[in-house]
Amino acid sequence: MLLSTRIEMRFHVSTRLVFSSGSLYTIPQIVGKEVGASRILLITDKGIRNSGIADRVISQMVNITVFDEVEQNPRSTTVDRAGEIARSIKPDLVIGLGGGSAIDAAKAIALLRTNSGSIEEYEGREKYKNPPTPVLAIPTTCGTGSEVTWVAVITHEKRRFKMSIKGPLMFPAVAIVDPDVLLTLPLPLIASTGMDALTHAIEAYTVKPATHITDLFALESFRLIFQSIRDAYSDIQKNREAREGIMLGSTLAGMAFGNSDVGSVHCIAESIGGIFDVPHGVANSVFLPHVMDFNLPAVKERYASLAHKVGIGGNEEDASRMLIERIKELSRFLHIPMFHDLDIGERDFEEIATKSFKNNSSPSNPREAKIEDYVEILKKAYVER
């Protein structure tokens, strides 16, 4: 009977996934034998350069050019500048090394390598004429999922808006997911990116375009992240099981939301990121429980299923409400900031709400959210102490 409510189901992940501890050191084999690349452009950020992770990649390569100027919310001007470099050196592989910002930037730069113009010309779906250069994605946080999605989110500075550039040819060709890269990840990033991945799982499971196939990935990713994030945050160095659990959960969540969608949490987070340059993982972490409160009347059964998946008992009403409380408790344990800590005032709520409503993913939210609903969510989040 459930199948009759979702007649058409599609699922697409064309990325070849290599997942294991220590897989970072398989790069030469993958680049040389499997991808067949000889000129490499590495896209990353200053933090990854300073952590030493980039050096571990660079030391395994020959004929590699490094662009390490990606911001926490990659800007269109930065992507355009790197795109010109790509057109000049003509790499046959672009490596995205870092969190979602670096990987999204790498996808966009790979598109510009083979197509003319600026990145804003490709906002929307399948606006490219030529296939992008192949991308090797190497996530260094536990919350992006971008290594297995077909979207690059790039901030347009003048519009203060996050653009989505997407298309089936934008999937990375290969993703190397090595949980051991988390060994040097600072605690605040474990917290915010881990909660970002949890948001991906919850929204993928509850949005309107969810299917039985995406449900499988969303439920398992939620279980892995929820059961691993505390231990990962408490002792990332010694707890290998937690590292692997949260990293695998993040990747599975990417497969889930990449084939269903995200909802109002991301709509708010992307609006705030575009306007105020708040890190994406932080913004998602802040608003997840508040949007869950708003969505509860529409997805009580689904919240209860998520709750039961991680051992939260009770009837549908009790389990769904307890899940939200457990998410709030988890946020406190991870020292996720409150909305009022982000230096954003009530005078900004109307702009945030309007841009959230206009986000392409807003119609996917399980409960219709109008501009006034977004304003109300912001107000409730702002007064919480």
Q: CA-based Rg of the chain, rounded to a whole angstrom?
A: 20
Q: Provide the pLDDT confidence category of residue 1 given band limits of 50, 70 and 90.
A: very low
Give how many domains the chain has, as a whole number: 2
Ramachandran quadrant class, 36 (left: phi over 0; alpha: psi -120 to 50; beta: rest): left
Structure tokens at 259: 């084939």
pLDDT tens digits, 320-367: 999 999 999 999 999 999 999 998 999 999 999 999 999 999 999 999
The pLDDT score that the predictor gives to residue 8 is 72
Residues 235 and 145 in one domain: no
Residues 164 and 207 in one domain: no
pLDDT tens digits, 227-270: 999 999 999 999 999 999 999 999 999 999 999 999 999 999 99
The pLDDT score that the predictor gives to residue 7 is 54
Q: Provide the pLDDT confidence category of residue 126 given band limits of 50, 70 and 90.
A: very high
The pLDDT score that the predictor gives to residue 21 is 96
**Strand order in 124-125's β-sheet?**
124-125, 161-166, 151-156
Query: Of all residues in the chain, what percent carry a pLDDT higher than 70?
Result: 98
The pLDDT score that the predictor gives to residue 203 is 98
CB 176 within 8 A of CB 28: no
Average pLDDT over residues 161-185: 96
pLDDT tens digits, 72-97: 999 999 999 999 999 999 999 999 99
Domain assignment of residue 373, yes or no: yes
- Report long-range pairs for 124-132 (Cβ below 8 Å, ≥24 apart): 124/164, 124/165, 124/166, 125/166, 125/167, 126/166, 126/167, 126/168, 126/169, 127/165, 127/167, 128/167, 128/169, 131/169, 132/107, 132/169, 132/170
Q: Which residue has the higher pLDDT, 5 or 138?
A: 138
The pLDDT score that the predictor gives to residue 42 is 98
For the question of whether the overall pTM of this predicted structure is more than 0.75, the answer is: yes
Residues 194 and 176 in one domain: no
Q: What is the CATH number of the domain that holds 276?
A: 1.20.1090.10
Number of residues written out for the chain: 385
Residue 195 has pLDDT above 80, yes or no: yes
Residue 9 has pLDDT above 90, yes or no: no
Helix (H, G, I), strand (E, B) or coil at 139: strand
Structural domain boundaries enclosing 157: 16-181
Of 153, 181, 209, which residue constitutes the final position of a domain?
A: 181
Distance CA 146, CA 334 (A): 23
Average pLDDT over residues 39-64: 95
CB 258 within 8 A of CB 210: no
Distance CA 84, CA 90 (A): 10
Structure tokens at 40: 């490499």
Q: What is the CATH number of the domain that holds 77?
A: 3.40.50.1970
Residues 199 and 153 in one domain: no
Of 181, 215, 247, which residue constitutes the final position of a domain?
A: 181
Element (H, E) at 125: strand 124-125
Domain assignment of residue 2, yes or no: no
Q: Provide the pLDDT confidence category of residue 4 given band limits of 50, 70 and 90.
A: very low
Residues 36 and 111 in one domain: yes
Element (H, E) at 243: helix 240-259
The pLDDT score that the predictor gives to residue 35 is 86
Residues 308 and 331 in one domain: yes
Residues 190 and 320 in one domain: yes
> Across all residues in the chain, what is the average pLDDT?
95
